């Protein structure tokens, strides 16, 4: 191994004993040896590493980072295409016993249902996540494949980072991490790809937190009352909050689809988060705009209240949206609290 490194100009021994062939290395080469080992672990080629030591800089590390993300994304896309070709959906969400999570004070058990549909689009750029005490929907923005990559990358990065640090600050850090991952994937070009993100998370220090960027939503059904716990980051929502636009005018406003915030469209992201009261009997719904743009809040409430089983409820919501000829992708994640 060391001989092949030396052949590439890496870790050249300071001296070689001619009779025994023993190779001597200086103490200063230990750091280089450690860096070479780490870069090899990242599967960087020996020749590339040798070139890197001629002029080590952050740009090359960033290039490798992007390459790794893009290779992994390409592998995930191929896997997703294989899944689609086999017509095999995702495995069932974690069962009741697997998905209990202690917040700061109480232990909740969650039973979930998930459904998504391509709607009238050519690809489904929505993605959902049901993980350990972590539930999310992301709606990708960008060209045909870019949106799919952005929403999946957002959720995968978010999930991994939050799993490593389940505090509220870890949750915000996970969102920033997801933002950086998509921004890097877009090669730092403004707004070529992005994603919304709406999350309900059980943190270790403050129980349930709702976090969102963009116009995917979280609702809570409690005692027959449906409450929207997020406010859309869109031009029309801002105008309506300011009292400058009526709900009926908003339907035809030229900027009705324009987001004011999204994951991955700039190096930094503004995040909204707050505590969410979460009690046994509550039903939470995370959804993409494809759902609430064709079903009114009243219709949502009636449908959510009429079906007890969360998977059937998610299926029903999405099927009803599709029946209305939803132009957009439609996704719903139902979380029942026990």
Cβ neighbours of residue 193 closer than 8 Å, sequence gap 6 or more:
140, 141, 142, 143, 146, 147, 149, 150, 182, 185, 186, 264, 265
Shortest distance in whole angstroms from residue 275 CB to Mg ion: 27
Smaller CB separation from Mg ion, 156 or 289? 289
Among 141-149, 177-185, 273-281, 321-329, the segment contacting Mg ion (CB under 5 A): 321-329
Q: Which range of residues in 4-12, 169-177, 249-257, 281-289 is near Mg ion by CB under 5 A? A: 281-289
Query: CA-to-CA distance for 73 and 151, rounded, in angstroms?
Result: 11
First and final CA of the chain: distance in angstroms?
Answer: 57
Report d(CA 259, CA 255) in Å as an integer: 9
Stretch that binds Mg ion, among 49-57, 141-149, 249-257, 282-290 (CB under 5 A): 282-290
Q: Which span (27-35, 137-145, 152-160, 274-282) binds Mg ion, by CB under 5 A? A: 137-145
Residue 207 or 321 having the CB closest to Mg ion: 321
Instruction: Determine, following the binding rule CB under 5 A, whether residue 328 of this chain makes contact with Mg ion.
Output: yes
Q: Which of 5, 111, 139, 182 binds Mg ion (CB under 5 A)?
A: 139
> Which residues lie across from 294 on neighbouring strands?
none
- Interaction with Mg ion in 287-316: which residues (CB under 5 A)? 288-290
**Residue 116 or 131 with smaller CB distance to Mg ion:** 116
Which of 115, 75, 104, 127 minimizes the C-alpha distance to 204? 104
Nearer to Mg ion, 156 or 328 (CB): 328
Nearest-angstrom CA–CA distance, 251 and 245: 10
Least distance (Å) between residue 119 CB and Mg ion: 8
Q: How far is the CB of 224 from Mg ion (least distance, A)?
A: 28
Six-digit token pair at 172? 């915000």
Closest contact distance (angstroms) between CB of 129 and Mg ion is 16
Residue 98 vs residues 108, 128, 150: alpha-carbon distances, Å? 11, 18, 28
User: 134-142 and 283-287 as β-strands: parallel, antiparallel, unpaired?
Assistant: unpaired
From residue 212 to residue 241, what is the string marking binding to Mg ion with x (rule CB under 5 A)?
Answer: ------------------------------
Judged by CB, which is closer to Mg ion: 141, or 304? 141
| Helix runs in the chain, H state only | 2-7, 29-41, 46-54, 58-86, 144-164, 168-185, 235-241, 247-250, 289-292, 297-306, 310-323
Stretch that binds Mg ion, among 26-34, 46-54, 94-102, 322-330 (CB under 5 A): 322-330
Which residues here bind Mg ion, judged by CB under 5 A?
139, 288-290, 328
């Amino acid at each position: 191994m060391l001989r092949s490194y030396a052949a590439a100009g890496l870790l050249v021994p300071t001296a070689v004993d001619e009779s025994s062939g023993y190779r001597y290395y200086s103490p200063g080469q230990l750091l280089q040896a450690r860096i070479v080992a780490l870069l090899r672990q990242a599967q960087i080629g020996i020749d590339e590493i040798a070139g890197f030591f001629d002029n080590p800089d952050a740009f090359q590390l960033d290039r490798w980072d992007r390459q790794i993300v893009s290779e992994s994304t390409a592998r995930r896309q191929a896997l997703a295409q294989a899944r689609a070709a086999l017509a095999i959906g995702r495995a069932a969400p974690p069962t009741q016993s697997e998905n209990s999570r202690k917040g700061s004070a109480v232990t909740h058990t969650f039973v979930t249902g998930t459904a998504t549909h391509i709607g009238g689009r050519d690809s489904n750029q929505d993605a959902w996540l049901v993980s350990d005490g972590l539930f999310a929907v992301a709606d990708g923005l960008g060209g045909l494949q870019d949106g799919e990559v952005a929403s999946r990358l957002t959720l995968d990065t978010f999930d991994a980072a939050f799993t490593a640090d389940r505090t509220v600050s870890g949750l915000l850090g996970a969102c920033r991490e997801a933002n950086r991952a998509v921004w890097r994937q877009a090669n730092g070009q403004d707004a070529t790809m992005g994603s919304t993100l709406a999350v309900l998370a059980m943190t270790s220090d403050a129980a349930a937190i709702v976090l969102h960027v963009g116009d995917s939503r979280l609702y809570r059904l409690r005692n027959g009352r449906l409450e929207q716990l997020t406010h859309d980051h869109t031009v029309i929502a801002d105008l309506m909050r300011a009292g400058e636009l009526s709900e009926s005018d908003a339907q035809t406003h030229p900027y009705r689809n324009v987001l004011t915030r999204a994951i991955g469209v700039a190096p930094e992201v503004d995040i909204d988060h707050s505590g969410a009261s979460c009690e046994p009997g509550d039903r939470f719904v995370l959804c993409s705009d494809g759902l609430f743009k064709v079903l009114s809040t009243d219709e949502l409430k009636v449908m959510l209240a009429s079906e007890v089983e969360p998977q059937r409820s998610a299926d029903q919501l999405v099927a009803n949206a599709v029946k209305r000829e939803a132009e957009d992708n439609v996704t719903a994640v139902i979380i029942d609290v026990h």
